[in-house]
Amino acid sequence: MQEQIKNINNLDELQALYTATFGKNGTMTVRLKEMKNLDNDARAALNRENQTLRELFKVRQTEIENAVLMAGLEKQKLDVSLNPMPENRGTLHPLTQSLTEIASILESFGYTMHTGPEIEDDWHNFTALNTPAHHPARDMQDTFFLPNGNVLRTQTSAIQIRAMESDGVPIKMFGIGSTYRKEMDATHSPMFHQIEGLYIDKNITMSDLIADIRAFLSRFFGIDNVELRIRPSYFPFTDPSIEVDLKWRGSKWLEIMGAGMVHPNVLRNCGIDPNVYQGFAFGFGWDRLAMLKYNLPDIRQFYDSDVRWLKNSGF
């Protein structure tokens, strides 16, 4: 009997044998009914046999059920050689990607990131930056004016004023954000982005400025030692002021950023004594830097929200 149970391979047969054994007129049922005629030893032996058989049926049932389940799973096997569904992955916008790189470089130099409002008051965008009303330098930037006299921020320099007002000196920060000017062609968009560094402490000099610019551009463009050309320039909020050109791919000079030593009037406007503290500021077009690095010809593509462009540009 025990061998018979072990050799059964399907549930129907097992059920049939179970009924034949334990059913109403099953062999074991009949024997159990006759138990009263047996002596004590024979009764005990019958009880054990009864127990053992029931156990065996249970174990065999589980074994057969598991085998059926495994056979089913075997048939459902995943075919890993099938072509995958086309993947539609999102990517980070090139401006976001470049910000991550720019921020990590500047932060490694000890600059901390700041932002500010895009609708700015006259004080932070112009006056505090040594550009009072009627100053001719206001015409350098075609400003969007709001009816209440506020402006759409024309330069991230406004952020350095806010940072100096709130944090005081010494300070080493960079501001990032959107800026607005009335201009539009392949290299100009009415909304663009700037990044601007500021470092004020005791004994900061022009060579500190040039060293940081050189180290920053080398790291960002992955060039061992960038070739720079420093030209005198004019900004109302720096004196002396310079413009920095970068030798691009061994041939062309590209104008890449404006910079200079922060004008004493700017420091005074922020409650800082220029006889004790001095320092530098530099500012550049964030979009322009990204265009150069990723070889993108037209600034307007940054703002078109065209996913095909993002894909084809390899982002």
Cis status, amide bond into 170, omega within 30 of 0: yes
> Of 60 and 263, which has the nearer Cβ to ligand PHE?
263
HEC string for 261-301:
EECHHHHHHCCCCCCCCEEEEEEEEHHHHHHHHHCCCCHHH
> Of 116 and 283, which has the nearer Cβ to ligand PHE?
283
The helix (H) or strand (E) run that includes residue 41 is: helix 40-75
Burial category of 51 from C-beta neighbours within 10 Å (exposed 0-12, middle 13-18, buried 19 and up): exposed
**Cβ neighbours of residue 131 closer than 8 Å, sequence gap 6 or more:** 137, 138, 236, 237
> Of 13 and 243, which has the nearer Cβ to ligand PHE?
243
Please, what is the minimum distance in Å from the beta carbon of residue 146 to ligand PHE? 19
> Of 60 and 193, which has the nearer Cβ to ligand PHE?
193
d(C-alpha 32, C-alpha 4), whole Å? 21
d(C-alpha 302, C-alpha 251), whole Å? 26
Contact 245, 158 (CB under 8 A): no
CA-based nearest residue to 200, from 174, 170, 242:
170
Please, what is the minimum distance in Å from the beta carbon of residue 154 to ligand PHE? 7
Type of residue found at 296: L
Please, what is the minimum distance in Å from the beta carbon of residue 252 to ligand PHE? 21
Please, what is the minimum distance in Å from the beta carbon of residue 100 to ligand PHE? 22
Please, what is the minimum distance in Å from the beta carbon of residue 311 to ligand PHE? 32
Please, what is the minimum distance in Å from the beta carbon of residue 179 to ligand PHE? 7
Query: Interface residues with ligand PHE (CB under 6 A)?
Result: 155, 157, 196, 235, 238, 258-260, 281-283
Please, what is the minimum distance in Å from the beta carbon of residue 92 to ligand PHE? 26
Which phi and psi (to 5°) does residue 123 adopt? -60, -55
Q: DSSP letter string over 66-121?
A: HHHHHHHHHHT---TTSPPPPP------HHHHHHHHHHHHHHHTT-EEE---SEE-
Closest residue (Cβ) to ligand PHE? Answer: 283
> Of 5 and 291, which has the nearer Cβ to ligand PHE?
291
> Of 94 and 175, which has the nearer Cβ to ligand PHE?
175
> Of 98 and 157, which has the nearer Cβ to ligand PHE?
157
